[in-house]
């Protein structure tokens, strides 16, 4: 079979190829297929052969102008999938970060008009060009840290016009950037200033105007809601998400982050693709997820950045059979890292996941959480040739070495698109 790209003599090739239908759960999550002295061959941006170098070389015929990379002593994994981010915003919020470190809570800052509403005021007065330029910088950083597919949420517009503006920026990024982008409508991120005394009016605007218009223009694959005490309660969230589902959007939830009001249960009941955060998920919530196809997306970067006392009970969730994924939650308020590498380290130290579980949670399972698993998330024949070459002696070093960029090269659709933090 023809190939025009061969990565060979890989120290450890980690395929994340699932042996059962993904997402992986329970003990399957701790299983990785690893080839020592492995190789991957690709043609026209797709993977055509995977295995031991000697075996792959027997199967392929390199065409004229092929490229060969030697990856001796390195690790190769699928490109990482960041399944929960908010990368389009006008400005960073380091002032609030400092206020929190000096004693104010995230919710106190939000109730005083800061937080998400602060970002909303700024996004509304910022041009699409400026938002696009800001987000491009962060997507470049994501790619440089090994992320090749990103879910990107709106939610800093909170009016029909500004939410559409933000989703159009996401569309422009999807068209221009090497990273693949899956768009999510998060109009239910917060109640905007002009509706503070009329929450029901804002829910009505979401249901009657914003969701139908966004679905009609095909600006989003998912609809998300911040289901939280004092933001969108269970009844509001159900109304909003039922309308979104009726318009063909798939569902995601910010659930059980600060006060446990049953967000995970609602997500499972409505057949959501994922329920994210889950720092304070209840036993009933864990049961509900384990008996559903809803993936639990854990965001330990937020636990770290907000210095939260509650951590998602990840081990208990795995033992109960919940399908888990990990993401950065990259945003200016609660998690300011665009790198999944530090999230891998936090998942080990805070959530007590093994290296194998962590790698599955940022590849095949996170691809399932954004419905791109038939194309990406594992190194297997027929899939897009999205791969990362890591400066690591073995995959267990990936969550272990932290605070540095371990990426040597990132391949997107069979082409080198980043050399990590080094100049190309």
Cβ-proximal residues to 224 (8 Å cutoff; 6+ apart), any chain: 153, 155, 184, 185, 186, 188, 189, 251, 252, 253, 254
Say whether residue 257 binds Fe ion (CB under 5 A). no
Q: Which x/- pattern over 275-314 shows residues binding Fe ion (rule: CB under 5 A)?
A: ----------------------------------------
Residue 372 interface partner, choices ligand NIG, Fe ion, none, CB cut-off 5-8 Å depending on type = none
From 294, 302, 365, 418, residue interacting with ligand NIG (rule: CB under 6 A): 302
> For Fe ion, which is the closer residue by CB, 254 or 412?
254
Strand partners, 119: none
**Going by C-beta distance under 8 Å and a sequence separation of 6 or more, which residues neighbour residue 145?**
80, 338, 339, 340, 341, 405, 407, 420
Instruction: Report which of 246, 288, 297 is spatially closest to residue 268, judged by C-alpha positions.
Output: 288
Instruction: Work out whether 116 is an interface residue with ligand NIG (CB under 6 A).
Output: yes
Half-sphere exposure of residue 25: CA atoms within 13 angstroms, side-chain side: 17
**DSSP β-bridge partners for residue 185:** 223
| Burial zone of 19 (CB within 10 Å; 0-12 exposed, 13-18 middle, 19+ buried) | exposed
- Read out DSSP for 326-375? E---BBTTTB----HHHHHHHHHHTT---HHHHHHHTTHHHHHHTT-TTT
| Contact partner, 82, from ligand NIG, Fe ion, none, Cβ < 5-8 Å per class | none
Q: Residue 332 interacts with ligand NIG (CB under 6 A)? A: yes
Could you list the beta-strand ranges (E) of 365-423: 387-390, 407-412, 415-418
Residue with Cβ nearer Fe ion (228 or 386): 228
Q: Which is nearer to Fe ion, 299 or 388 (CB)?
A: 299
Q: Which residues of 295-321 are buried (b: 16+ CB within 10 A; e: fewer)?
A: bbbbbbbbbbbbebeebbbbeebbebe
The only residue of 87, 333, 377, 414 in contact with ligand NIG, by rule CB under 6 A: 333
Q: Is 166 in the site for ligand NIG (CB under 6 A)?
A: no
| Span interacting with ligand NIG, options 204-212, 216-224, 332-340, 378-386, rule CB under 6 A | 332-340
Candidate list 25, 117, 254, 383; residue touching ligand NIG; CB under 6 A: 254
Task: In angstroms, give the least distance from the CB of 277 to ligand NIG.
Answer: 7
Choose the one of Fe ion, ligand NIG, none that binds residue 305, judging by a C-beta under 5 to 8 angstroms depending on kind. Answer: none
256 binds ligand NIG (CB under 6 A): no
228, 329, 357, 408: which one binds Fe ion (CB under 5 A) = 329
- Give the nearest distance from C-beta 254 to Fe ion in angstroms: 5
Question: Which residues of this protein are in contact with Fe ion, per CB under 5 A?
Answer: 329
> Which residues are at the interface with ligand NIG (CB under 6 A)?
86, 115-116, 119, 226, 254, 257, 302, 329, 331-334
């Amino acid at each position: 079979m023809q190939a025009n790209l061969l990565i060979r003599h890989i120290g450890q090739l980690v395929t994340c190829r699932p042996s059962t239908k993904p997402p992986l759960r329970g003990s399957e999550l701790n299983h990785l297929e690893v080839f020592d002295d492995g190789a991957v061959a690709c043609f026209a941006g797709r993977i055509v052969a995977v295995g031991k170098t000697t075996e792959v070389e027997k199967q392929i015929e390199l065409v004229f102008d092929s490229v060969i990379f030697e990856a001796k002593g390195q690790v190769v994994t699928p490109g990482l999938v960041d399944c929960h981010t908010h990368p389009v915003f006008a400005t960073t919020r380091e002032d609030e970060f400092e206020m929190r470190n000096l004693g104010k809570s995230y919710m106190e800052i939000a109730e005083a008009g800061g937080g998400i509403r602060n970002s909303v005021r700024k996004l509304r007065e910022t041009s699409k060009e400026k938002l696009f330029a800001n987000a491009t910088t962060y997507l470049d950083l994501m790619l440089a840290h090994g992320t090749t597919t990103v879910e990107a949420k709106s939610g800093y517009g909170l009016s029909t016009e500004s939410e559409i503006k933000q989703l159009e920026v996401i569309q422009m990024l999807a068209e221009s950037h090497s990273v693949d982008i899956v768009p999510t409508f998060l109009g239910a991120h917060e109640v905007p200033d002009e509706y503070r005394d009329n929450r029901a009016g804002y829910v009505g605007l979401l249901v009657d105007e914003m969701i139908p218009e966004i679905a009609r223009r095909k600006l989003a694959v998912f609809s998300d809601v911040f289901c939280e005490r004092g933001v969108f309660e269970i009844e509001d969230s159900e109304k909003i998400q039922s309308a979104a589902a009726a318009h063909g959007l798939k569902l995601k939830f910010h659930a059980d982050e600060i006060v446990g009001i049953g967000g995970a249960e609602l997500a499972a009941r409505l057949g959501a693709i994922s329920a994210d955060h889950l720092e304070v998920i209840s036993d009933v919530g864990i049961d509900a997820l384990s008996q559903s196809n809803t993936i639990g997306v854990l965001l330990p970067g937020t636990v770290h950045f907000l210095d939260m006392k509650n951590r998602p009970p990840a081990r208990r969730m795995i033992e109960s059979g919940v399908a888990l994924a990990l993401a950065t939650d990259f945003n200016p308020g609660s998690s300011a890292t665009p790198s999944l590498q530090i999230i891998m380290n936090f998942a080990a130290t805070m959530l007590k996941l093994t290296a194998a579980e962590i790698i599955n949670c940022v590849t095949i399972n996170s691809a399932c959480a954004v419905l791109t698993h038939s194309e990406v998330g594992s190194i297997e024949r027929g899939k897009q040739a999205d791969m990362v070459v890591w400066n690591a002696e073995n995959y267990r070093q990936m969550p272990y070495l932290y605070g540095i960029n371990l990426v040597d090269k990132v391949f997107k659709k069979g082409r080198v698109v980043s050399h990590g933090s080094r100049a190309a």
